[in-house]
Amino acid sequence: MSKKGLLFCVTLLLIVLPIDLQGQCAMCRAVLESNGDQSVAEGINNGIVYLMAIPYILVGSLIFIVYRKLKS
């Protein structure tokens, strides 16, 4: 894959990914929506997103570092 193709795929992924990050599991969503306090539901949702995103960022950084070391 060329660099332009790879850049296009990464850009497309970054554009589409935040749309899918706003989901919750069905049970968490049902319990939080029945409570009526939207700030708690939003806080739980943000916590889920942060917990999910950190491993991807770490693995991506590791892959980038290894790629840079192998390239030079």
pLDDT band (50, 70, 90) for residue 72: confident
Rounded Cα distance, 46 and 51, in Å: 9
Would the pTM of this model clear 0.85, i.e. be above it? Answer: no
Among residues 32, 13, 30, 25, which one has the least CA distance to residue 49? 25
Q: Could you report the per-residue pLDDT of 12-67, keeping only the tens digit for each? A: 777 776 655 555 566 666 766 676 667 777 787 788 888 888 888 999 999 999 99
**What pLDDT, on the 0 to 100 scale, is given for residue 9?**
81
- Whether the CB-CB separation of 24 and 45 falls below 8 Å is answered with yes
C-alpha distance across the termini of the chain, in Å:
20
Q: Where are the domains of the chain?
A: 3-71
**What pLDDT, on the 0 to 100 scale, is given for residue 43?**
80
